[in-house]
Chain A
Amino acid sequence: MSSSRGDVGEPAARPARREPHGRPVRREPLRLGPVRSDPVDDATLVDLLDRVIDRGVVVAGDIVLSVAGVDLVHVGVRLVIRGLDGPLE
């Protein structure tokens, strides 16, 4: 695990611990796994992308890619989704 109080990426060792509700916290290094079963033909790919760009916690950030208040990251991914699956609206 790593932790930082100043800059990003500053490592700091911490002892293994348990969460207050008793579930043991995993300590071995995490690995990326597939979030969908088939990278090409997955009926739920659009469902996942819709969640990633439209749901989840928002901690207001500096929207950098924007023109006239339109978030281009959001728009760009929306266009990709349309390409994958036809119109969303």
Chain B
Amino acid sequence: MIHLYALATSAAPVEELRGIDDAPVTDVDCEPLHAAVSEHPHPPQPSASTALRHAEVVEAIVRAVPALPVRFGASHRDVETLRARIRSRLPELQRAVARTGGRLEFVVRGDAPSPEQAATARTGTDDEPAAGAETGEDPGTGTAYLQRRLATVHALRAAHLAVEQRLDRLTARLEPQAAAVERRVGPHGPEDCYLVPLEEVAAFEATARGLAEDHGLVLGGPWAPYTFATAAVPA
């Protein structure tokens, strides 16, 4: 079973890299691209530590040669199957590596409120909001329950919009330092993803870290450009 980490325009010096389950990482020539892979008797375990090892290998490769980060979670039967699948998507993979190769990704985001926080913000109390209280309705009824749920959805939507507006206001000066910017909704709500050339990473990080510290934002990265590879080669 073949586990794929990255697709590159040239062979990365992977001979000392150890991947998932400490398996050696090797280069497979998939002319004209190169695949960094490891071989396993079984599919990888679905754990955070396995996914992180995948990320570590990917990161080492994308910092060394122009490469596309591959999503964790799929395995290939053998090298020939992998080559055939790469060949079938070769034009878009080549365009993608031309766009994202030699670049890393940062994320800047706020902390989106949980549904409970949003509800609290709307009602101004930590207690469960008694929506029926406004209408004189029994808060225990189904209608009251649905009203509370609806109020929470509205509060979350408003909080989401507020985070987006805050990002718009605060992060504008990062955009000129990036090759591309994408607004996405991540696990914590709206986030701005920045594609930054390797040679600009230190300068970008200094600016972004200052911004994050001054305004209570969260800065992540630099990582392999997963977000931008997704946009360039939709699944």
Contact = CB atoms under 8 A, between A and B. Distances in A.
A58 B82 CA distance: 12
B160 to A, nearest CB: 13
A73 B54 CA distance: 13
A57 B85 CA distance: 12
A19 B9 contact: yes
B29 A21 contact: no
Given A57-B7, A62-B77, A3 B72 contact: no
Main secondary structure of the interface of A (DSSP, over half): loop
Interface in A24-56: 25-36, 43-44, 46-56
Contact of A8 (B39, B48, B107): B39
B7 A8 contact: no
A65 B61 CA distance: 26
Interface in B1-55: 1-2, 4, 7, 9-18, 24, 26-29, 34, 37-39, 43-48, 50-52, 54-55
Contact of B81 (A23, A62, A81): A62
Contact of B4 (A46, A59, A65, A84): A59
Interface of B: 1-2, 4, 7, 9-18, 24, 26-29, 34, 37-39, 43-48, 50-52, 54-61, 63-66, 68-77, 79, 81-82, 85-86, 89, 93, 96, 101-102, 105, 107, 109, 114, 186-188, 191, 198, 218-221, 223-224, 226-227, 229-230, 232-233, 235
A81 B65 CA distance: 30
A73 B70 contact: no
26 contacts: A4-B28, A19-B10, A19-B66, A19-B102, A26-B63, A30-B61, A35-B52, A35-B223, A44-B218, A46-B188, A48-B55, A48-B220, A52-B51, A52-B55, A52-B226, A56-B58, A56-B230, A57-B96, A62-B75, A63-B73, A64-B1, A65-B43, A73-B74, A77-B47, A85-B187, A87-B114
B7 A73 contact: no
A31 B16 contact: yes
A52 B43 CA distance: 16
Ranked nearest first, the 9 interchain pairs of A and B with the lowest CB-CB distance are A76-B46, A61-B74, A44-B220, A56-B71, A55-B226, A51-B226, A58-B235, A29-B16, A26-B64
A32 B57 contact: yes
Contact of B44 (A26, A62, A73): A73
Contact of B73 (A4, A9, A43, A71): A71
B79 A7 contact: yes
A51 B227 contact: yes
Contact of A30 (B16, B54, B86): B16
A67 interface: no
A84 B89 CA distance: 35
Contacts of B7: 57, 59
B66 A1 contact: no
Report which residue of A10, A11, A43, A61 has the largest number of chain B beta carbons within 10 angstroms of its beta carbon.
Answer: A61
